[in-house]
């Protein structure tokens, strides 16, 4: 009897298009603060910087517009998004609702996994602070808060959070490294994790809520110092 040949099924990973790569690269420039809030964007300059034609750049800017990171003003041009103080307040209020709801659901469905993930982030945060690698802190802060969404396992919470996540990252990247409120961030994170481990949903939500309000004040203060808030 002839043995049947076995076939290993592997999914083909499609390489990213130039447009997708341009989206990733321009978004990183905005979120990480190398492009300033309110800064005018030139398709030609971006294409030259990225080493590609203007067509994928134009398509990338359209996608970034849909994500709220780019604003197009007829007869004026294309600009990095800009926020007023009221916008920051509204974004943080929305964030408070989504993150607290996600925290409660994650504690109900996956409390131990959530606690383990958050503790790992706390440990890594302590390590980078010890070696003075403060540039890593915005990434770790984002991972901490996004863990609530990931462990909640809700498509709707995830989609809702994505409406503001990149803007939150952009605001976070513009905070000074040694602001007193920033230094307090790690302490607040540790308090939240302690309440999660103890199974105290309401207490964890309250600390998270107050923590987000603290960061809102920090975002506004830092933005005013940089003079990047819209009127």
Residue 186: the pLDDT is 85
Residue 113 and residue 216 share a domain:
yes
Domain of 56, CATH number, reads 1.10.10.10
Tell me, yes or no, whether 6 lies in a domain: no
3-state class of 186 per DSSP? helix
Tell me, yes or no, whether 90 lies in a domain: yes
pTM score: 0.84
Q: What tens digit of pLDDT does each residue of 58-96 get?
A: 999 999 999 999 999 988 999 999 999 999 999 999 999
Rounded to whole angstroms, how far apart are CA atoms 136 and 92? Answer: 22
Does pLDDT of 1 surpass 50?
no
Do the Cβ atoms of 206 and 195 come closer than 8 Å? no
Domain boundary among 58, 80, 102: 80
CA-CA distances (angstroms) from residue 178 to 8, 38, 119, 195? Answer: 52, 25, 23, 26
How many domains does the chain divide into? 2
Residue 33 and residue 129 share a domain:
no
DSSP run (H or E) holding 209: helix 201-226
Q: What tens digit of pLDDT does each residue of 95-138 get?
A: 999 999 999 999 999 999 999 999 999 999 999 989 988 888 88
Tell me, yes or no, whether 28 lies in a domain: yes
β-sheet with 70-73: strand ranges across: 40-41, 77-80, 70-73
Rounded to whole angstroms, how far apart are CA atoms 49 and 216? Answer: 33
Residue 146: the pLDDT is 96
Residue 94 and residue 74 share a domain:
no
């Amino acid at each position: 009897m002839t043995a049947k040949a076995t076939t290993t099924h592997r999914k083909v990973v499609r390489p990213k298009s130039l447009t997708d790569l341009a989206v990733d690269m321009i978004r990183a420039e905005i979120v990480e603060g190398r492009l300033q809030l309110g800064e005018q964007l030139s398709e030609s300059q971006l294409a030259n910087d990225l080493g590609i034609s203007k067509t994928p750049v134009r398509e990338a800017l359209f996608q970034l517009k849909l994500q709220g990171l780019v604003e197009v003003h007829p007869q004026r041009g294309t600009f990095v998004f800009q926020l007023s103080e009221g916008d920051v307040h509204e974004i943080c209020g929305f964030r408070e609702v989504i993150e607290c709801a996600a925290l409660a659901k994650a504690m109900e469905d996956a409390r131990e996994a959530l606690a383990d993930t958050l503790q790992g982030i706390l440990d890594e945060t302590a390590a980078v602070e010890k070696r003075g690698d403060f540039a890593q802190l915005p990434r770790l802060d984002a991972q901490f808060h996004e863990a609530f969404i990931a462990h909640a396992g809700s498509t709707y919470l995830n989609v809702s959070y994505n409406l503001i996540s990149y803007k939150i990252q952009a605001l976070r990247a513009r905070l000074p490294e040694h602001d007193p409120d920033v230094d307090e961030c790690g302490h607040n994170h540790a308090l939240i994790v302690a309440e999660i481990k103890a199974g105290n949903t309401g207490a964890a939500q309250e600390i998270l809520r107050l923590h987000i309000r603290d960061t809102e004040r920090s975002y506004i203060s830092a933005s005013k110092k940089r003079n990047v808030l819209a009127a």
